[in-house]
């Protein structure tokens, strides 16, 4: 099974150009080893100003298994990060809460990655700033869309939340599916449209966009060796 998760970090330094190149390469090499060891399927790391975002697909036998220790495998970059204060102590990578997706990855690994072997995929990371007073509305409507399971979107799409910041991962070309696997019209999406989606996003912070595409520092996937 594939278990997906996303994390946010905060850089002490503001630009990737200041980071020594080998720091990013060493972090990427750590995940390449996890892929070779059969523990990870995909790891992609993105950056926006002083913030970093990590998307990971872990290979697990049971969803109750402990999550991957991101701090352990991104330790080379930790001297350049600010810790996030949390209830059980400071962390360099803060786990984000998933609020939206189009597919539950319960099939075997080859089936999960079938489309990735057919097309060369661009792995896209985006961020969005939601007005704090609009957060309950955003989460409520997107939870309802996921629970209904009828709205089609990229199979690999995954949106998570930390504070009032959303991080979105998806792949191009897209493989549009839905959770239920049936071709029926979504009813709850109309409720979201009536709630005025545009009013939820702080586009001034998002540089004029609801979701802003951000640079990728590294991305690795098991299919990279196949293509």
Distance CA 25, CA 164 (A): 30
The answer to whether the bond into 110 is cis (omega within 30° of 0) is no
- Who has greater pLDDT, 68 or 89? 68
Q: Which of 212, 218, 150 is nearest to 187 (CA)?
A: 150
Give the pLDDT confidence score for residue 17 in this predicted structure.
58
SS3 letters for 173-195? CCCEECCCCCCCCCCHHHHHHHC
Domain ranges of the chain: 2-222
Residue 57 β-bridge partners: 4, 42
pTM of the model: 0.93
* Closest C-alpha to 45, from 157, 125, 164: 125
Give the class (CATH, top level) of 2-222.
Answer: alpha beta
Q: What pLDDT, on the 0 to 100 scale, is given for residue 106? A: 83
Residues 110/38, Cβ–Cβ less than 8 Å: no
Q: What is the mean pLDDT of residues 135-152?
A: 97
Asked whether residue 18 carries a pLDDT value surpassing 80, the answer given is: no
The lowest-confidence range among 10-19, 70-79, 140-149 is 10-19
Q: Which two structure tokens, joined as six digits, stand for 224?
A: 């990279």
3 burial via Cβ count (<10 Å: 0-12, 13-18, 19+): middle
pLDDT of residue 15: 57
At 100-120, the pLDDT tens digits run: 999 988 888 999 999 898 888
What per-residue confidence (pLDDT) applies to 13? 62
Residue 57 has pLDDT above 80, yes or no: yes
Q: Are 171 and 122 in contact (CB under 8 A)?
A: yes
Q: Look up tokens 């951000």; give the residue.
A: 214
For residue 19, cis peptide bond before it (omega within 30 degrees of 0) = no
d(CA 194, CA 157): 23
Q: For the chain, give the mean pLDDT.
A: 91
225: tokens are: 């060796």
Q: Cα angle at 26 between 63 and 122, to 5 degrees?
A: 65
Chain Cα centroid distance, residue 39? 18
């Amino acid at each position: 099974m594939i278990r997906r998760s996303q994390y946010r970090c905060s850089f002490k330094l503001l630009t990737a150009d200041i980071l020594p190149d080998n720091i990013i390469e060493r972090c990427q090499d750590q995940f390449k080893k996890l892929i070779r060891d059969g523990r990870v399927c995909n790891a992609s790391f993105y950056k926006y100003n002083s913030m970093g975002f990590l998307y990971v697909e872990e290979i697990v036998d049971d969803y109750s298994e402990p999550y991957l220790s991101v701090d352990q495998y991104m330790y080379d970059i930790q001297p350049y990060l600010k810790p996030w204060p949390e209830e059980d102590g400071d962390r360099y990578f803060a786990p984000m809460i998933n609020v939206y997706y189009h597919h539950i990855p319960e099939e075997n690994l080859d089936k999960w990655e079938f489309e990735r072997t057919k097309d060369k995929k661009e792995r896209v990371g985006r961020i969005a700033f939601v007005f704090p007073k609009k957060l309950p509305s955003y989460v409520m409507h997107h939870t309802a869309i996921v629970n209904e399971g009828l709205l089609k979107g990229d199979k690999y799409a995954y949106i998570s939340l930390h504070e009032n910041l959303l991080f979105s991962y998806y792949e191009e070309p897209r493989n549009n599916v839905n959770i239920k696997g049936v071709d029926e019209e979504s009813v709850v999406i109309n409720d979201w449209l009536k709630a005025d989606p545009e009013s939820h996003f702080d586009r001034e912070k998002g540089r004029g966009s609801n979701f802003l595409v951000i640079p990728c520092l590294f991305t690795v996937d098991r299919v990279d060796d196949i293509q």
